[in-house]
Structure formats: C-alpha cells, structure tokens
Amino acid sequence: MKNILFTASECTPFVKTGGLADVIGSLPQSLNKTQNTKVKVILPFYDEIPSHWQSQMEQVASINVPIGWRNQEASISMLEHNGVDYYFIANDYYFTRKGVYGYYDDGERFVFFSRAVIEALPHLNFTPDVIHAHDWQTGLVVAFAKILQPIPDIKTVFTIHNIKYQGIMPHDMFDDFFNLSMSHFGGLEWNGVLNCMKSGIFHADKVTTVSPSYAEEIKDPFYSEGLHPLLLEREDDVSGIINGIDTGDYHPLKDPYIHVNYRHSRAKKKINKEHLQKTLNLAVDPDKPLYVMITRLVEQKGIHLMQRILDEFLEEEVQIAVLGTGDFEFEDFFYHAGQRYPDSLSVQLTFDEKLARQMYASADFFIMPSQFEPCGLSQLIALQYKAVPIVRETGGLKDTVTPFNEITGEGNGFSFNNYNAHDLLETLRYSLKVFHDPVQWIQLLKNVNKSQYSWKDSANEYAQLYEELEHVNIYS
Ligand code: ADP
C-alpha cells in the first residue's frame, strides 16, 4: 500500500474556480477505490468553503510556520468524505478573505501554505511515501520537501495543470520568505525572479501534465510560457496522463440539478432544452440546435475567435448560450451581444454550478475553441451529457475529441487545427449540416454515447508512476 499526500489550492466540493478542483476532488477517491493506495489531501482553509463543510471539520493540531524571519500560526483541521481524508490549513491573515486568488500577495500566501504543508506532516496520521503537488500554488511544497527532507527518502510528483500561471515574485523575496541558504536560490529562480512553477518542475522526481499532447506541446516555446529549456532538460521525467471526470457525479441519469434525467434519450434532452430556453428567456423552440459555452472568459479559451464570428454564425437558425466569468473585455463583449440577440443568444456572466449542469444537459453542441488546453474537462463533461464537442485541436482537446468523418462514420465531435476564426466558423457550419442530416447525426450520437472518460485508466497510470518512484534515487 502506498501512502500519497495530494496538495493543491482547490478541490470540489469545498472550493472551485476551474478544472483543477474537479481533478483534486475526484482522482484521490478513484485511487483509493481502485488502486493499492491511501491518498489524503491537504488544502488551504478558505472562508469561501460552505459552512456545512466547515461544521464537519475537526481540529487536529496547531502549528508554527516559519516564513523567513517570522513565525505564523496555523491550525489544521480535517474531515472525511467519500473515503478520503481532507486536511485544511487555516490562517486568518492569509486565507480569511473573499474569493480564492487575485491578491497582490498571492505568492506569499502560497509560500506560507507550502511551508505549512511541510510542518503539518507529523499531524496527518500517516507517513506519505509520495507528495503529489499540483500547479504553481504547491510547487514550493515539492521544493521544501526536497530541500528540508522532513521525511527521509520522500518522493515527489508535480503535476502541471496550466503552465501559463507560474506564481512569480521579485527575487529579493527570497530573504523575506525563505530561511534557506543562498545555495538553494537557483532552484527557485527563473529569469531573475522567484518562480513557484519552476521550483516544482526543478525539484520533483517526476513531472506530469494532464494530457500526452500537452506534455509534448510544453517543450515548444509557443506553449511553454518560457519554461521549455527546463522541460527539455527534464524530458525523461515528464509524461502526460489524461484527466478523467467523476462519472458518478457528472451523470445525466442521476444529476439532481437537471430538469429531466436521461441516459441517451434525445427526446428528454429536448425537454431539458425547452426548460432552459424558458429559464434563460430565449425563444422557446426545442428543435433549434443549441450551442453552449461554459468557460472562464479569458484569451486561452479562444474567446477572440468567438468575438470575430458570433454575428455571422447567429445568422443561421441556431441558439447560443454562454455561461462564464473573466476578463472585462470579454464580459463586456458578450453582455452587449446578448442585448442585440435576445431570442438567440443568452449570456450569463456568473459562476453557477447548477446552471452549468442544466446547460450541459440541454446542449446539442459544446464549443471550446481554445488557444491551448492542457486537458480540458468541460468537453468531457459535455460528452458525458451527450452534447457534441466542437474544439480546436490542441492539448487534451486533441486527445479526447476525434473529428467526425462522414465517410468512415468515426468521430465523437468536430475540430479544426489553425487558430483562425473562419476555420471555427466553417466547423460550426459543418456541425449544423450534420445536425440536419438524420443518418449522419445518429451515427455521430452513437459515437458520442460510447465516449466515456472516467478515471479508471488514468488512476491506473498514476498508481504505476508511484510504483516507479521506488526506483528513483533521490540523491541522483
Ligand atoms: P479550466 O480549468 O481551464 O477553467 P476546464 O475545462 O478544465 O477549464 O474546467 C472548467 C470547469 O469549470 C468545468 O467543470 C466547467 O463546467 C466549470 N466552469 C467554468 N466556468 C463556469 C461557470 N461560469 N459556472 C459554472 N461552472 C463553470
């Protein structure tokens, strides 16, 4: 039995801003159920965590966390949920705030959290064989684990969920936040500044990312956000394991949030669509194809392409529903577009899990034209709710969506290669053509119905990786 400690900055059902939370909320459960592992998870305690979860936590210990020359107190509490022990590190100064990220001192907050994870190790009621850290917020957990060796021979895995966000700080924070000798500066620094993502990649025994294609892409300057030299150096230790989703939770037959539950039935999906059209004040016409986007409204998600072609595509007999939050430029654009097309375009600028599920359940198509996409969970959720994904061929989108081929009858979606608005428009128009061709449409839906991305295979791959770590010599 391998003891694994997951550490991350978000996790469903406690706190979520994106796909990372879905992964941390479902992979440990799947590992504990299907593999010979005991996974525990350690997270920051945010004010945002709903009170019914907070009231289930039990305090385990109080610890002192050294931050440079200072000491901060932290308390550790714990709850058990679906076979996984979750630990939460609380500190009023760093985490009793509104929201999750976006503060000027986010770097310092996660230096604190990372060091606190190390100090918390004696209080977790197990000795981890492996620390598995996720994204920049916990890159320093890996660095501290290697430098301070709180557990002799501890092994580490660092997973990159999105290399765009690296957690950088001015280099002079090294003295302020880390009581480490200068010999360790080089392992934390990149291009003259402290970089938490680099620290994780540099110190981890194994580095993974969330799809095989993205693992290749990030060695290229176009995708690497400057870190390709390091990734090329560590090439032999970098691999891609595709994310899954919790297919028990995202399940149209059981989902309590949706209007009518269904397995494959298009008729029942139409009832959901009609209900959604009423909820969103769209023209009620369940025969009209509905295209949905549920996304952070940021450049990464290909929003610029949608901006270019929205008016042209809305000349067709279609409806589009957008749910998202993000950059002002995009929120503003969609808000005004929504005013111009009240019958055919709905724009909801909010984060709403229930509405998201109703939209997946109602959608005929799910649009995701990302500039880059490490894995993408939304297209997997869409497939699970029998909405046909339309994606750009990048990262995990390329690994999970195969373009429909009307000759061979293969494919579970639509895709285009170049990051070009009119290629997206052509693909959308082609999807509409297939929608109106009963023979092809039924064939495509058959393929969609067969596409399932549960954690089964990927959990197995992670378990194998943890086994391989036995043979890593930490002093090499
Ligand atoms: P990323 O993590 O880059 O944002 P993913 O596709 O991996 O993208 O995961 C996004 C997750 O967040 C999905 O579960 C998606 O349904 C959800 N999501 C995104 N925006 C919203 C929103 N405005 N309201 C509800 N859920 C959202």
- pLDDT tens digits for 345-394? 999 999 999 999 999 999 999 999 999 999 999 999 999 999 999 999 99
**CA 322 to centroid of ligand 1, rounded, Å:** 12
Q: Looking at residue 476, what is its pLDDT?
A: 47
Q: Looking at residue 471, what is its pLDDT?
A: 76
Q: Looking at residue 179, what is its pLDDT?
A: 87
Whose CA is closest to atom 16 on ligand 1?
378
**CA 414 to centroid of ligand 1, rounded, Å:** 20
Which atom of ligand 1 approaches the CA of 325 most closely? 23
Task: Decide whether any atom of ligand 1 lies within 6 Å of the 358 Cβ.
Answer: no
Q: How wide is the angle at C-alpha 157 spanned by C-alphas 156 and 161, nearest 5°? A: 145
Task: Using the predicted structure, report yes or no on whether residue 187 has a pLDDT greater than 70.
Answer: yes
Quick one: three-class SS letters along the chain?
CEEEEEECCCECCCECCCHHHHHHHHHHHHHHHHCCEEEEEEEECCCCCCHHHHCCCEEEEEEEEEECCEEEEEEEEEEEECCEEEEEEECHHHHCCCCCCCCCCHHHHHHHHHHHHHHHHHHCCCCCCEEEEECHHHHHHHHHHHHHCCCCCCEEEEEECCCCCCCEEECCHHHHHCCCCHHHHHHHEECCEEEHHHHHHHHCCEEEECCHHHHHHCCCHHHHCCCHHHHHHCHHHEEECCCCCCCCCCCCCCCCCCCCCCCCCHHHHHHHHHHHHHHCCCCCCCCCCEEEEEEEECHHHCHHHHHHHHHHHCCCCCEEEEEEEECHHHHHHHHHHHHHCCCCEEEECCCCHHHHHHHHHHCCEEEECCCCCCCCCHHHHHHHCCCEEEEECCHHHHHHCCECECCCCECCEEEECCCCHHHHHHHHHHHHHHHCCHHHHHHHHHHHHHCCCCCHHHHHHHHHHHHHHHHCCCCC
**Contact of 387 with 270, CB cutoff 8 Å:** no
Cα separation, 366 vs 413, whole angstroms: 9
Q: Looking at residue 164, what is its pLDDT?
A: 96
- Stretch 446-469: mean pLDDT: 95
Query: Which of 9, 211, 257, 294 most suits a substitution to test ligand 1, by most atoms within 8 Å of the C-beta?
Result: 294
Task: Decide whether any atom of ligand 1 lies within 6 Å of the 37 Cβ.
Answer: no
Whose CA is closest to atom 17 on ligand 1?
18
Which atom of ligand 1 approaches the CA of 161 most closely? 2
Q: Looking at residue 219, what is its pLDDT?
A: 97
**Contact of 153 with 474, CB cutoff 8 Å:** yes
Whose CA is closest to atom 2 on ligand 1?
19
- Stretch 394-405: mean pLDDT: 98
Query: Which of 20, 292, 377 most suits a substitution to test ligand 1, by most atoms within 8 Å of the C-beta?
Result: 377
Task: Decide whether any atom of ligand 1 lies within 6 Å of the 461 Cβ.
Answer: no
What are the pLDDT digits (tens) for 285-317? 999 999 999 999 999 999 999 999 999 999 999
Q: Which residues of 456-473 are buried (b: 16+ CB within 10 A; e: fewer)?
A: eebbeebbebbeebeeee
Task: Decide whether any atom of ligand 1 lies within 6 Å of the 352 Cβ.
Answer: yes
215 — pLDDT class (breaks 50, 70, 90) = very high
Task: Decide whether any atom of ligand 1 lies within 6 Å of the 17 Cβ.
Answer: no
Q: Looking at residue 385, what is its pLDDT?
A: 98
- Stretch 24-40: mean pLDDT: 97
What are the pLDDT digits (tens) for 363-373? 999 999 999 99
Task: Decide whether any atom of ligand 1 lies within 6 Å of the 376 Cβ.
Answer: yes
**CA 128 to centroid of ligand 1, rounded, Å:** 31
Cα separation, 399 vs 44, whole angstroms: 32
- Stretch 69-82: mean pLDDT: 96
Asked whether the bond before 13 is cis by omega within 30 degrees of 0, the reply is yes
Question: For the chain, what percent of residues have pLDDT higher than 90?
Answer: 97
**CA 474 to centroid of ligand 1, rounded, Å:** 37
* Residue 397, amino acid: L
Task: Decide whether any atom of ligand 1 lies within 6 Å of the 44 Cβ.
Answer: no
**CA 379 to centroid of ligand 1, rounded, Å:** 10
Which atom of ligand 1 approaches the CA of 373 most closely? 3
What are the pLDDT digits (tens) for 113-168? 999 999 999 999 999 999 999 999 999 999 999 999 999 989 999 999 999 999 99
Q: Looking at residue 473, what is its pLDDT?
A: 64
Task: Decide whether any atom of ligand 1 lies within 6 Å of the 295 Cβ.
Answer: yes
**CA 351 to centroid of ligand 1, rounded, Å:** 9
Task: Decide whether any atom of ligand 1 lies within 6 Å of the 282 Cβ.
Answer: no
* Residue 197, amino acid: M
- Stretch 411-415: mean pLDDT: 98
- Stretch 177-206: mean pLDDT: 97
**CA 182 to centroid of ligand 1, rounded, Å:** 40
What's phi and psi for 162, nearest 5 deg? Answer: -160, 110
